[in-house]
A and B are shown apart, each in its own frame.
Chain A
Amino acid sequence: MSERIALSALEDTPSLPLQACELSYVVGERTLINAVDLTLLPEVITVLMGPNGAGKSVLLQLLHGLRVPTRGQVLCAGQPLTTAHRLRQAMLFQQPVLLRRSVAANLDFVLKLRAPEDRHAERNRLLGDVGLLDKARQPARRLSGGEQQRLALARVLAVRPRVLFLDEPTANLDPASTALIENVVRRVHQAGTKVVFVSHDAAQGQRLADEVIFMNHGEVLEQTAAVHFFDAPTTRSARDYLAGKLVF
């Protein structure tokens, strides 16, 4: 079937490194993203931090092709971002968007799109990974917040992404769900997926990050190894942010 995208056909499209070149995004008079230059390498987990309204979500949406940049471009392995690349990217939203169906049917929707051979086994494996196997038949939108986010995570993994964006996925979750999601993310990273994780939680950053990107006012102020960032951030804003002060 034509709309099914055989995964093997895509193996050849290299996705990484992911780069932003002079990336800007302007709405009306406001510059939400201002000439951002970034290179995201496959080997490291990148945690994106910055105060509310810094532009983290917008930047992820640009990198994922959900918004079209006003200036500049996103490059995947040196090539402009196309649908072929986007098919191997996935994004976990801060508020999970679940279909009005059962837990299992939510996964099947994606598995049918991407047509892996043994859909049933794949679905059960994914549900097992996020601890929802016993809830497969339940209506997805009747799950608790944490369970919904775990289901959404299983669903993005069904895409078998090369690049995984997570926009504050654990913002409202209890420690157990947070730990589960962090563990899955680590495993996915070890299996070769580039992870870009937005978080406000410095402790979480320290647990997960290999490198930290710090943003404010639509600009990238730091891109440093995690050890350096949490010990000695170079910018004043980052120091204030980590100290829990309001950043201007």
Chain B
Amino acid sequence: MQDFGDAFALAGQLLVSFDPDLREIVGLSLRVSVTSVLIACLLGFPLGALIAVGRFPGRGLLHVFVSAMMGLPPVVVGLMVYLMLSNAGPLGSLQWLYSPAAMMIAQTVLITPIIAALTAQVVADLNREYHALFQSLCVPAHRRVAALLWDARFSLLTVALAGFGRAVAEVGAVMIVGGNIANLTRVMTTAIALETAKGELGLALALGMVLMLIAFAINAVLMVTRARAVERAYV
């Protein structure tokens, strides 16, 4: 066990020197989580809008289902995706287990419900405002959804970033389906868990700092865009 001073010194050194191992881990983390968020938004925005404004049987049930999925523990999602991708599972032939693709699937499954549920709320609020206008103008359903999603874009950015924050910070699911294999599926959170267990606090601390930096950056982006939107009364 190193002492804390050494650990911090090493972490600083790793960050400043842009250590290749560190870079690879951070790079993979970002690649996996950004991809997952993009896919989750592609699925979750329309799904949320549909729940908010759709008039079809089973809409309420779908809403309950999506909301319930929001609270799924990551390890359970990891286990489900593991079962799907393992050799005996329905998607076993893809041979995706212990690959970045598996981690993307797990994160996408994890955050799509979050994005859909939050989108449903945002869109429903805006729809209350727009409903009479849409009715009066006989706006077709797909146009309504498009207009609502577009006009809610600033709130939806918040939703997407919340999803990203959750994805990038998640450990359990990616550990199960990725396996934390060095140079292949090792991401920030799984690396931190492993290095800390080994007592190698330097790399763990450096990665922890990167994670915090990402969180700060996300919030800074959010605050700036929101302020601009508020100024124009677009939120």
Contact = CB atoms under 8 A, between A and B. Distances in A.
Contacts of A99: 130, 133, 147, 151
Nearest to B232: A139
A113 interface: yes
Counting chain A residues whose Cβ lies within 8 A of the other chain, the interface size class is: 20 to 34
A66 interface: yes
Of B129, B133, B235, which is in contact with the most chain A CB atoms at under 10 Å from its CB? B133
Interface string B223-234: 000000000111
Interface in A1-50: 3
A90 B129 CA distance: 18
A203 B133 CA distance: 29
A110 B130 contact: no
A87 B135 contact: no
Interface in B60-116: none
Nearest to A61: B132
Interface stretch (B20-28, B48-56, B136-144): B136-144
Contacts, number: 46
Contacts of B138: 83, 86-87
Contacts of B132: 66, 93, 97
B135 A159 contact: no
Given A97-B130, A99-B130, A100-B235, A109 B136 contact: no
A101 interface: yes
A194 interface: no
Contact of B143 (A101, A113, A140): A113
Contact of A142 (B133, B137, B140, B232): B232
A237 B139 CA distance: 40
Contacts of B233: 100, 139-142
A157 interface: no
B129 A97 contact: yes
A99 to B, nearest CB: 6
25 contacts: A3-B142, A3-B143, A64-B136, A66-B132, A66-B135, A66-B136, A83-B138, A86-B138, A87-B138, A90-B136, A93-B136, A97-B130, A97-B132, A99-B130, A99-B133, A99-B147, A99-B151, A100-B233, A101-B234, A109-B147, A139-B234, A140-B233, A141-B232, A141-B233, A141-B234
Given A86-B138, A140-B233, A159-B137, 12 more contacts: A3-B140, A3-B143, A64-B136, A91-B136, A93-B132, A97-B129, A97-B130, A97-B133, A99-B151, A100-B126, A100-B233, A141-B233
